[in-house]
Each structure stands twice: as structure tokens, then as C-alpha cells.
Amino acid sequence: MQLRLIYALLTFFLLLNILNAAEQTGAITGRITSKMTQQPLPGVTVRLLNTNLGAISQTNGNFRIENVPVGINQIQFSSIGYETYVQTDIAVGSGRPVFLEIELVEKVIELEGAEVRASYFVKRIESVTSTQSFSFEEIRRSPGVQEDVIRATALLPGVNVTGAGRNDLIVRGGAPFENLFIVDNIEVDNINHFGSQGSTGGPLSMINLDFVRNVDFSSGGFGAKYGDKTSSMTNITLRNGSEEQFGGKATISASQFGLNLEGPIADDGSWFFSARRSYLDFIFQAAGFGFVPQYWDFQGKANYRLDSKNQLTYLFVTALNNVKLNNEDDDKRFKNSQVAVPDQYRNFSGLTWRHLFKDGFATVTLGNAYTRFSTFQNDSNLVEIFRNESKEGELILKTDLDFQLGSKTELTFGNQLKYGAILEYDILIPGFLRIDNNGNEQPLAIDTSFTSVKNGTYFSLSSAIGHHRFTIGGRMDYYNFTDEELYFSPRLSYIYTLNELSSFVFSVGRFYQSPSYIWLLGDPNNKLKAIRADQVVIGYAHTPLQDVKVQLEVFYKDYANYPGRVYRPQAVLSPSGFDDITSDIPFGLEPLSNSATGRSRGIELFIQKKFSEIPIYGLLSATYSESDFVALDGFERPGAYDSRFIFNISAGWRINSHWEVSSKFRLATGVPTTPFLPTGSRDFIRYNEGERLPLYHSLDIRADRRWNFSSTNLIFYIDIQNVYARKNVSGVRWNARDQVSEYQESFGILPTIGVSLEF
């Protein structure tokens, strides 16, 4: 039987190769605009590298190149007064034409005698530090990332994750709740399936990577336009649908299958839609697991140009998450009693109007973000011990105006209003799961609702003088539910350009973050303050080659107004998702005090090689850092996410237009732990003073194969995570049955395959 299966597979792939043998070509189309004004750019020279093919952009900024060889290509864009830019990793097939949306950056620093070089890296108008960009293809092909936009950022310096099965980001020592996510101008509290309430992590992103155009990630020092978070900012820009013809993609990947569709709207717009479903429930049920998760997600976008100056865009993303429990025997009931079961419905949507005027543009977004949480946990006798029925919904109105004051100066200002119209909570925690620092039981029963108002107003001015480029800005945030309602955040960043290859960077700023809504319920009589983080970043950047970047940065982050735990005075609040609420009080549902402080400092190295004429790409990141906090008892202790050393290396080789291989190695030192008492509760007197978790390390490998036919493209990959099957440890938990503490270990080797058919 096995020989027959192998023979059938060999025959199938041989047939594909025969059908694929003929030389195939495709087309690349696109639109080029100015980054500063969003106006279309005519007369841009567009050149397909390593060929004689090219084009000149038309009056409306559009261009088209025919007879492009199938495979992965690079295009260079050049125009007088703009930085010459090379877009890499353009996957061309023989079916639907590729559509690119390119924004060129005005050249703000002119160096006498400097050789004009094309850059494979995105240059920016504003002076920024600690910011990197990923394209769709760079994320898709990354080994072990599972096509997750959040997991991809974990390869960058200063970034760690809480566990192999989750994408909670730990950025420069900050907790997962400190990270900001933006999708097409809509700020989203959590973009994950089964996302953690009051935080930002989860097992897997609900954003369909197929429609991601670009991801910008900043690990600190971001501009005044972004606020209400103290660690990182991830800005996800989605592409538009095809304006050429109807098409789609059917996919079976590591954990889900789905269908994408897209096409034009008359001659002035486009749309796309996707639906995906996980198949983990089939696997878990077949394997006899007691915990069976399932999810769906839906994503759609439509954009339409009303005229040459006005465009409307509508976006929606919806996720349905639920878990089925199999409690047919004692062992499954015991294992399920250690899990808080999350059922969720998530949706965010927005309508955006963009208006162009002579020297700039205005962007207005009216949006909505809503999540329904339904979380419970039973004991091994199927008696409910925890219940959380919550609804959190916000209406969002965001306005941004960008003005070009001169060829080297840009002014940006705007406002974002969030109205928490639906904040409803029905929560029950029995006293034995909520014990104060004196050993007394403190049960919690909440059935309440309220509303909230958040408002942020900002300005930012970027300019260049000679070798100097600076950005100065400020932000005023208002929260009607905090102890102090107004918070001002000044920001400053500066770049000194030594020459065409090297520059020094510096940024300093203050950042505030309002408490998560669920934190307000632990002690309704106490109003919390916004968390404050003052950050300083100093760095050096060097591009020895057009496609190679080297970056070295030193950072320091100082926290104030951090939430200390009254019932656990040795600890600050650091939730990262709760698999078992019997291990600790969940979601910050306890009295909190903003008297805690903290600091994080470190040094980071980042080296990146882009795919170019040399068909090798990769990155290396290394971070050494320390973080510590002073909780309510006044003693300094290591932070809960104090992983001192993190190292990543990822590399790939494009063998030819059909084959590609890549690998990734990750190493990180373990975080501190808190020992358990013989009763099974954590000994908070020795908070974070236990042994550190073992060293984490893992090797992932991946191979991709492409077939191009007359009107379709087929992509097959195999991705093997944790090749040498190391049982990495993500935490320590109490085994109530055996009355011992034990490691929470990940799976061993995890092979997955994926198949995509584009049409």
C-alpha cells in the first residue's frame, strides 16, 4: 500500500513537471505615488532587474510590464528628487497579473559627491529608530512562522515570545499587553484567534497573510502619531484586490484551509474576500484529545476611487473561536480541569475616506472593534469554578492630516476618539481562587456595565538640514476612567547622516498606556493611572551593500505608574494569557496600585540581507538585555519576562524559479520562575527567585516548490519545526493529581505541509 502511494505521488509530481516545462511569462502592473503627498508620480523609470524589460509610469502613476519571466523578481524605481528603491520578492505567475502599490520617498538629504545607490530597504520621511519592515513574501516563506504576521516579528532584535505555541510578544522587557496593532489605520486591541483578554497575544493571528502588503514593526521610539501603548507598534498595511481580472486562491496550510477571491470594481476600484477554517478539531478528535479548538475567520476589503482626489475603502475582519471538551473519562476530565476554556467572537471594521489636496492629504476612518468573551473553567467533577461573560466594543473616529511644507519638511497632525459604548461584564471567581496577601479568601462576583472615552491628539514635524534630519512631536491623551485624565507625551528623534552608507540615530520620548478595561473591575473603588514609560534609543546603521543592512542599538526604558498587585505585593501585573486560572488570579481581576516602577535596558544587533541578484537572503538578530521591577513591597526583582540573551538566524536560498529552501535557528535564555508551596499555590514571598527555565533552542527548515501553468499557479511547501525534537519548556505548573510541580513542555518535532492553488 505504501509503495502504491509513493508511486502515485511520484507520478503526480512528474506530470506536473512535464506540464510546467514550457517557458511561461506573466505581467506586473502597479501604481506609484509620493509617500509624502500620496499624489500619483508620472515619469518614474521602472526597470525589471536582470532583464531588458521596463516601463515609464503614466500621468496617473500607473505602469505595466509584459512578458515577465515567472518566478521571483525585483523591480527598481527611480525618479529625479526621489530615493531610488528596489522592490524585491515579487512572485510572478502566468495567471493573474501582479499588482504593486509603490510609495517613493522624497530625497531630503543631498550629499555632495555621493554615489546614487538604489536601496533595497524602505526609507522614511520621518527620522525613526528601531523600525523594520517585512513584505508578504518575506513572511510567507519564513520557516516555523506558520504565515503569521506576529510570529514573523519575533525574529527581530529585542523581541521574545512567551511560548512555542503562542505569539505573545515580549518587546524589550515589556509585558504582552504593551503592544499596539494597527490594520489599515484601525487600532485593534488583539488580532488573534483565542486572544488573551486585557492583553494582545494568542495562538495564531486572524489576519490572512495573502492580503498583507507590508508590515512595519517598531520595538520602541515610535512617533507621536501612535499612543496608548508603551512597548511596540505593529502597523499592518493590506493590499487592494486585483484591478485587472477576477481571480482567487485555494489553500491548505499548517492548521487551516481557505478560499480567497478578488476582482475589479468597474474601472476605478477592487475588492477581495477570504474565508478560512481550522482543521485542528479533526486532528484533535482523531487523536483522542479532550480539548478540541476550532475557528473560522472572514476578511473583506473594497476600495473605490470616486475621482482623482477622493477614495473610499471599507474593511472588515471577523473571527469565530470555540472549544469543545471531551470529558468521557477521568484522565480527560482532569486535564480539562487545568484549562480555562475560551469561546470568542471578534470583529473589527472601518470605512476610510482619503482626500488629496495640493500639498498633502487627509485620511478619515470611522471604525468599530468588538469582542465577546465567554470563558469558563470546571474542576475534575465538572463543577464550574470560574465564569467570565464579557463584551467589549469601541467606536473609533480617526483623522490624520499630512502637509508637505517644503521639499524637505512634513507636518502631520490628527486626532483619534474612541468611545467604549459596550463594556459589559459578568464574572465569578470563588474565594479559594482569589486569596489576599493575608491568606483570606476574597471571592469576586461582578455583573456590571459602563462606558469610556479615550481621545488622543498629536502633531509631528519632520525636516532635514544638511546632514541632519529630525522629527519632533507631542501627544495629548485623555482617558475619562483614570485617576489623572490628561497625559502629555513629548517625542524627539534625530538622524545624522555621515555618508551614503552610514548614519547615527537617536530618539527619546515619553509613552503612556491606559489600563485595560478588565483591570478596572478588581477594585471598582480604586481608579488607576496610565502606565508611563520613558525611552531612550541610540544607534548606528550601515548599509555596506545595496541589499545588506547592519544596525546596532542601545536602549533604556524607565517605567512609572506600573500596576502593582495588592494581593501579591511582591509582583507587578504581567498577564500573558491564562491556561489555568487555579495557578494565579486571572486577567488582573484584583486590587491594583500604580506605585510600582521598573526598568529595562539592553543592546541589539541586527543584520539583514535582502533577496537580490545574489539569490540568498536572511537575517541575524542578537539581543542582550535586563529588566527588573520594584513592586509594592519595595524590593527590586527580575521581571517576569527577563530573558537575558536572544539569538535568531534565518537564511534562505532561491535555487531557481521553482525551488527554494530556508531554515531558522532560535536560542533564548530562560525567564525566572516562582516556586510552589506544598499546598500547590505559588510562593510569592520568593517571586521570580526560583530557577530560571531551561535554555530554549529550536531549528526549523522549509522547502518550497512552485509550478506555473497557463492560467494557474501551484505552490507546495513542507515546513518542519523543531527538527531535532527538543522539548522546550514554556513554564512550570502544579500537578494537583501527583502533588508536584512540573514543566510545561512543547511538542517535539512538528512537520506540516501546505498547498496553494492560485487562479
Say what the pLDDT of residue 12 is.
55
Note whether 277 and 256 are within 8 A (CB).
Answer: yes
Residue 300 included in any domain: yes
Task: For residues 40 and 145, state if they share a domain.
Answer: no
Q: Is the pLDDT of residue 711 over 50?
A: yes
| Domain span including residue 44 | 2-104
Task: For residues 93 and 176, state if they share a domain.
Answer: no
6 pLDDT band (50/70/90 cuts)?
A: very low
pLDDT tens digits for 648-699? Answer: 999 999 999 889 999 999 999 999 999 999 888 899 999 999 999 999 999 9
CATH number for the domain harbouring residue 629: 2.40.170.20
Say what the pLDDT of residue 20 is.
53
2 pLDDT band (50/70/90 cuts)?
A: very low
Question: For the residues 335-354, what does the mean pLDDT come to?
Answer: 95
Residue 445 cell numbers, joined? 462576583
Task: For residues 81 and 153, state if they share a domain.
Answer: no
Residue 109 included in any domain: no
Residue after which a domain boundary falls, among 61, 89, 104 = 104
Q: What gap in Å lies between CA 281 and CA 346, rounded to an integer?
A: 20
Task: For residues 436 and 508, state if they share a domain.
Answer: yes
Task: For residues 338 and 476, state if they share a domain.
Answer: yes
Task: For residues 96 and 151, state if they share a domain.
Answer: no
DSSP 331: H
Say what the pLDDT of residue 270 is.
96
Question: 292, exposed or middle or buried, with CB in 10 Å at 0-12, 13-18, 19+?
Answer: middle
Task: For residues 174 and 62, state if they share a domain.
Answer: no
Q: What gap in Å lies between CA 107 and CA 430, rounded to an integer?
A: 62
Task: For residues 19 and 88, state if they share a domain.
Answer: yes
Q: What gap in Å lies between CA 542 and CA 555, rounded to an integer?
A: 18
Residue 456 included in any domain: yes
Task: For residues 154 and 82, state if they share a domain.
Answer: no
Task: For residues 15 and 137, state if they share a domain.
Answer: no
pLDDT tens digits for 520-553? Answer: 999 988 899 999 999 999 999 999 999 999 999 9
Q: Is the pLDDT of residue 286 over 80?
A: no
Q: CA-based angle 401:182:601, to the nearest 5?
A: 105
DSSP secondary structure string for all residues of 158-194: TEEES-TT---EEETT--GGGEEEEETTEEES--EET
Q: What gap in Å lies between CA 582 and CA 734, rounded to an integer?
A: 9
Say what the pLDDT of residue 88 is.
92
Q: Are strands 212-218 and 232-238 parallel, antiparallel or unpaired?
A: antiparallel
Start-end of H helices in 25-155? 136-140, 149-153
DSSP secondary structure string for all residues of 504-552: EEEEEEEEEEPPPGGGGGS-TT-PPPPEEEEEEEEEEEEEEETTEEEEE
Residue 69 included in any domain: yes
pLDDT tens digits for 395-446? Answer: 999 999 999 998 889 999 999 999 999 999 999 999 999 999 999 999 999 9
Residue after which a domain boundary falls, among 86, 104, 122 = 104
Residue 525 included in any domain: yes
Number of structural domains the chain divides into: 2
CATH number for the domain harbouring residue 80: 2.60.40.1120
Task: For residues 194 and 320, state if they share a domain.
Answer: yes
Q: Which residue has the higher pLDDT, 146 or 234?
A: 234
115 pLDDT band (50/70/90 cuts)?
A: low
Q: What gap in Å lies between CA 254 and CA 752, rounded to an integer?
A: 5
The pTM score is: 0.93
Residue 110 included in any domain: no
pLDDT tens digits for 579-626? Answer: 788 889 999 999 999 999 999 999 999 999 999 989 999 999 999 999
Cβ neighbours of 231 (radius 10 Å): 29
Phi-psi region of 94 (alpha: psi -120 to 50; beta: other; left: phi over 0): alpha
Q: Is the pLDDT of residue 111 over 80?
A: no
pLDDT tens digits for 458-505? Answer: 999 999 998 999 999 999 999 999 999 999 999 999 999 998 899 999
Say what the pLDDT of residue 631 is.
97
Task: For residues 319 and 181, state if they share a domain.
Answer: yes
Residue 560 included in any domain: yes
Coil, helix or strand for 335?
helix
Residue 124 included in any domain: no
Minimal CA–CA distance to 181: which of 192, 172, 173? 192
Q: Is the pLDDT of residue 114 over 80?
A: no
- List, in sequence order, every residue forming a beta bridge with 295; answer none if it has no partner: 321
